[in-house]
Structure 1
């Protein structure tokens, strides 16, 4: 089996190459906007009909742009139009897609990575360019494991060129060991596992509060320098949250053995299904990146030979992991769980993690050998 990963490569073009790449991006963006304008005006989202209606005119308008990049712009426009029409069909606000600088999606005919020689060959308005690139040790390790290369997106951001390359690497075969670990993801504690492990740092919440206070102060000022600072702060906050999700998912995967089934809750539409009291709780809920954390957890687990599955999240926080009694008042506070039936007391998040693991077991899952799976707990429920 194999899996796909995306690596980010920093390009180091010469001044002449940088000018050619910027002009290629500009013409590619013009093609994208032209196809979007035609599709929005004629309510057309079919790729073949969009191609027949716009290709010849765009080739005459931009003769230096390689034909394959014109096709790539049309394909991106088709995806944007389908998304916009879908939003309009669901009754949401939608407008004509338009981009200021649309990334270029290269394929095997328009780019070639020469990792041993330290450059990448890219199609442009100035012909093929051999652009040097730089790799960090982590990216180099993934590149060494790659068995194939797929598409690559070139992005120009803050004066720098980046190439996001989709690589195919060999996946570690999942051989079930019989261990099951439930993971309860939350706002107060980022992650708690059923094998009595708590993950996340207390200082993360304080850093988030400090960023929020700084953003609120800058928004009140409203000056040009404050707005410039806000743009920088937004990128910093996003990078901080992404790093926290990477650290959290890595520590969860490192805490289990190969062949373990990691069970998480299916938190789809949780923002609309739950009600939070207080402005801070609502703000933290809407900034909670649980979907990204699960995606990081999934690919890191697959690389180790583990598997991530989801279960229904209902009643995991209200059920007693010892006797199974369900009641809303079993959870006395955010961190205290006390069963009203049997008197069992435990940390509320740890109790929920054990319920998540046992809910997966109750669904009829068995190991490859046919025997029952284990939750990995030192103490089994009475």
Structure 2
């Protein structure tokens, strides 16, 4: 059973710690150049519109280089998925339900970067490869998979101090963020309780209940620093005889 996490830095990351394909490097540099070219064309188009130039004579904001980049990105995704299936022959796959259309960032550059990476093509290619090879590949709910600790199930956005690092604020488990997420996806393949959840709130409530069960099982007590400081201050004042 192998979990697959989809991302930009690595198109695919499996639960056994392998990475396949990336949008960074040459593809990202080509995207930057194409985006700057489109912005210059759009600026020129606005200036010509103000001067009264007819629309049929205005320069187009589309570019042949942008279309070639899209084809090359899809080719890289296809190679990454094919290699992943070859190296995991006979395995069952669990991959995330990815909705790229609903993903939005505050920065326009990040939105353009995400669209250029063509992440929406990855799940389709996984499903197509699974059907072609006769392999079981199942979509699982991905809510909080990148924020959940694969050891203690604690969910917090602060568990990821940066894009590539996962460090649980409770148990201290440290791993590559994509590998941790892929392990969570693999564990959700046969999880009937999580499958029955209707929304993200129910998923988070279930994960936090499991975290509390993990703490009771391990007899783990978390004491916040402010509480410790308060107890220390009271003990100091009670022992002060002067």
Q: What TM bracket, shorter-length normalisation?
A: 0.5 to 0.7
Alignment equivalent of 1:276, drawn from 86, 105, 126 = 105
* TM-score (ref. length: structure 1): 0.43
* Residue of structure 1 equivalent to 2:88: 256
| 2:30 pairs with 1:207 | yes
Cα distance change on mapping 1:343 and 1:236 into 2, 3 Å: same
How far the C-alpha of 1:227 sits from its partner, in A, is: 3.7
How far the C-alpha of 1:362 sits from its partner, in A, is: 2.4
* Residue of structure 1 equivalent to 2:114: 285
Q: Map 1:91-240; keep pairs closer than 5 Å.
A: 180-201=1-22, 202-203=24-25, 204-222=27-45, 227=59, 230-240=62-72
* Residue of structure 1 equivalent to 2:143: 314
* Residue of structure 2 equivalent to 1:334: 163
| C-alpha contact (below 8 Å) 1:192/1:350 kept by paired residues | yes
SS at match of 2:41: helix
| C-alpha contact (below 8 Å) 1:322/1:344 kept by paired residues | yes
Alignment equivalent of 2:97, drawn from 266, 276, 279 = 266
SS at match of 1:321: coil
Q: Map 1:19-98; keep pairs closer than 5 Å.
A: none
- Which of the pair has the greater relative contact order for Cα pairs under 8 Å at 6+ separation? 2
Choose between structure 1 and 2: higher strand proportion: 1
Counterpart-to-counterpart distance in 1, 2:44 and 2:192: 55
Alignment equivalent of 2:181, drawn from 343, 352, 362 = 352
CA deviation string 1:33-62 (max 9, x = no partner): xxxxxxxxxxxxxxxxxxxxxxxxxxxxxx
* Residue of structure 2 equivalent to 1:363: 192
Q: How many residues are paired up?
A: 183
Counterpart-to-counterpart distance in 2, 1:283 and 1:243: 19
Cα distance change on mapping 1:231 and 1:335 into 2, 3 Å: closer
| C-alpha contact (below 8 Å) 1:271/1:285 kept by paired residues | no
Question: Larger Cα Rg: Structure 1 or Structure 2?
Answer: 1
| C-alpha contact (below 8 Å) 1:263/1:309 kept by paired residues | yes
How far the C-alpha of 1:228 sits from its partner, in A, is: 6.4
Counterpart-to-counterpart distance in 2, 1:248 and 1:277: 29
* TM-score (ref. length: structure 2): 0.66
How far the C-alpha of 1:207 sits from its partner, in A, is: 2.4
Identify unmatched segments of 5+ residues in structure 2: 49-55, 194-217, 219-242
How far the C-alpha of 1:281 sits from its partner, in A, is: 1.4
Cα distance change on mapping 1:338 and 1:233 into 2, 3 Å: same
| 2:67 pairs with 1:246 | no
How far the C-alpha of 1:277 sits from its partner, in A, is: 3.4
CA RMSD of aligned residues (A): 2.7
How far the C-alpha of 1:229 sits from its partner, in A, is: 8.6
CA deviation string 1:206-226 (max 9, x = no partner): 222222223223333448999
| C-alpha contact (below 8 Å) 1:219/1:226 kept by paired residues | no
| C-alpha contact (below 8 Å) 1:215/1:233 kept by paired residues | no
